Amino acid sequence: MQPAERSLDDDRSSLTRGRTLLLVLGGYFLINLLVRLVLPHGLELDEAEQTYFSQWLLAGYSSQPPFYNWLEYAAVHGLGMSLATLSLLKNVLLFATYLFYWLAARQVLTDKRLAIVAALGLLTIPQVAFEAQRDLSHTVAAMFGAAFFLFAFLRVLSKPSLATFLLFGLATGIGGITKYNFAIVPIAAGLAALMDRDMRATLLDWRILRAGLVALVIVSPHAFWLINNFEAAGGHTMKKLVDDKTGFLVSLMDGFGSLALSTLGFIALTLVIFAVVFREHLRSILRASNRWTRLVGRTLAICLGLIALMIVFAGLENIRDRWLAPILLAAPLYLALKVDAANIPLLAGMRRLWAVAAVVMVLIPTILFGRVALSHFTGKYGYVNIPFAALAELVAQKAAGANTVVVASDGQLGGNMHFNLPELPVVTPRPPLGLPPQPLLEFERIVLVWRKSEGTTPPSLEETFGRYLADEDATVVPRENGAVAFPYAWGRIGDDYRFGYAVIDLPKAAAPTP
């Protein structure tokens, strides 16, 4: 028999109902969306990159798979270019991440109320709760992919059918085009399931071939693109993870050190919070085990083991905690499964966890707003404070009356130009890898914009664009070339950000014939 505390009194509490969780989370993500709309409309790094890439629908763009890019393209072209569109996409994906995580937990928990504990556990992970709101895109997509995969994986193991196998293939395929490190999750989960006799029989059912076919169809467009662009696409990512200048032993020490610190940074707060909210039964929870705790625990352990192998054989050194977000996303689910296996009274612990979640849900939008609002007093500015909109107004004036292309010196500047001037084509000297060449001489006018990232006096036109313009045969002398300064959004009086700009009118003969 279950303890009395887990019966009717617990069920009467709204804190144990899934509807309460979904309503609260929906309101929370709506608040985050509204906070972003209130803040200045300068775009963060990932926001700007996604906005810049949204001009094209390609099989691949850069060093990350294209799932978020495709969603952004659909959102922008369906709803129009606006900050509301950009923020809505991110918050819908985050809400869907929590939803599928909750649904995944319900597949395997004996006490379904603990699915709320698992979902609220995501709020205790800083990389999931805060960093995803601050400025992430592909990682947000990968977290969604991981949550969707967990749901489909646990569903196929608990209720195998052709439909659940097809769902499993869909989730695996979508996850595969969110972020390359997602591949660690299905490999680890598959190996963990094969260690259990009953799960092995389920997973090796002939219907797994149908699932594999579905996944292959989803990933194949990007996979073919990646084959042709592997060196260029993978080089940027590997530079972040590998340092070729270090020796083997130093590389091992750096790799395992960064893995240990990042893993601790990812799960430490969650472990502490769970230990506190269920403190009366901590010993029982630690000892408790069942087939599902073993499955998820093995999956997490194998994930870390695979990364360890990559450190040894691929030379990975710089593993960041947010890189682990899709890989260790199952940690709160594992803890909820341990609580379930312990068969302890729940209501007191759930009330405490809800209190922690409430604090987090107040703190995060407050911090996101406050760090920008305080810039007026501190003089410390972020990307959202940069006056891109003021520069865009100047560019619009210079572009008027001609078939014009805007050339920005970097992707963030280019994304902000396209955000403010969606009717104008915007390019950079390094366009997306899959984009066909677009010669500047097809246009009548070129407006070039550049800067130093810190907003000090920008370098000369020749220093910034000389080689690029020569390669494009756009060697006409600019009719305008200068620097401008605009005040920071929400900034102190006298604090300005500087840009360089130039206007080149091309000979009429160079323009395309109507």
pLDDT tens digits, one per residue of 458-489? 999 999 999 999 999 998 999 999 999 999 99
Quote helix, strand, coil % in the chain, to nearest 5: 65, 5, 25
Beta strands in 322-401 (DSSP E): none
Q: Say if residue 196's pLDDT is above 90.
A: yes
Mean pLDDT score, 449-466:
96
* pLDDT at site 232: 73
Task: Write out the two tokens for 441.
Answer: 């001489």
Digit-coded pLDDT (tens) for 365-394: 999 999 999 999 999 999 999 999 999 999
**Cα–Cα distance for residue pair 357/452, rounded to 1 Å:** 40
Q: Say if residue 241's pLDDT is above 70.
A: no
pLDDT band with cut points at 50, 70 and 90 for residue 5: very low
**Which residues does residue 496 pair with via DSSP β-bridges, in sequence order?**
487
pLDDT band with cut points at 50, 70 and 90 for residue 511: very low
* pLDDT at site 14: 86
For every residue of 110-171, DSSP letters joined together read SSTTHHHHHHHHGGG-HIIIIIHHHH-SHHHHHHHHHHHHHHHHHHHHHS--HHHHHHHHHH
Distance of CA 269 to the CA centre of its chain: 21
Say which residue, 147 or 436, is predicted with more confidence.
Answer: 147
**Cα–Cα distance for residue pair 42/384, rounded to 1 Å:** 4
* pLDDT at site 47: 97
Q: Which of 101, 130, 109 is nearest to 22 (CA)?
A: 101
Mean pLDDT score, 242-265:
86
Give CB contacts under 8 A, 24+ apart, made by 319-323: 319/241, 319/255, 319/258, 319/259, 319/262, 320/240, 320/258, 320/262, 321/127, 321/261, 321/262, 321/263, 321/265, 321/266, 322/127, 322/131, 322/136, 322/139, 323/139, 323/181, 323/262
* pLDDT at site 317: 87
* pLDDT at site 325: 96
pLDDT band with cut points at 50, 70 and 90 for residue 514: very low
pTM as predicted:
0.94
* pLDDT at site 97: 98
- Going by the DSSP 8-state scheme, the letter that residue 62 receives in this structure is S
Place of tokens 């592909």: 138
Cβ of 490: how many Cβ atoms within 10 Å?
17
Digit-coded pLDDT (tens) for 313-328: 988 988 999 999 999 9
CB 24 within 8 A of CB 354: no
* Burial of 131: CB neighbours in 10 Å, binned 0-12, 13-18, 19+: middle
CB 219 within 8 A of CB 176: yes
Task: List all residues 6 or more positions away from 207 whose beta carbon is below 8 Å from its beta carbon.
Answer: 160, 162, 165
Percent of the chain with pLDDT over 90: 87
CB 62 within 8 A of CB 237: no
* pLDDT at site 436: 76
* pLDDT at site 433: 82
Digit-coded pLDDT (tens) for 394-438: 999 999 999 999 999 999 999 999 999 999 999 999 888 878 777
**Number of C-alpha atoms within 13 angstroms, CB side, residue 187?**
13
* pLDDT at site 192: 98
Rounded-to-10 torsion of CA 301, 303, 309, 312: -90
* pLDDT at site 160: 97
pLDDT band with cut points at 50, 70 and 90 for residue 236: low
Mean pLDDT score of the chain: 93
* pLDDT at site 311: 94
Written as one letter, the residue type at 219 is V
Mean pLDDT score, 159-172:
98
Provide φ and ψ at 505, rounded to 5°.
Answer: -95, 120
Q: Say if residue 7's pLDDT is above 50.
A: no
* pLDDT at site 437: 74
Mean pLDDT score, 126-133:
96
Q: Which of 511, 441, 509 is nearest to 475 (CA)?
A: 441
pLDDT band with cut points at 50, 70 and 90 for residue 297: very high
**Cα–Cα distance for residue pair 56/398, rounded to 1 Å:** 24
* pLDDT at site 231: 80
Q: Say if residue 181's pLDDT is above 80.
A: yes
Q: Say if residue 73's pLDDT is above 80.
A: yes
Q: Say if residue 1's pLDDT is above 80.
A: no
Mean pLDDT score, 11-26:
89
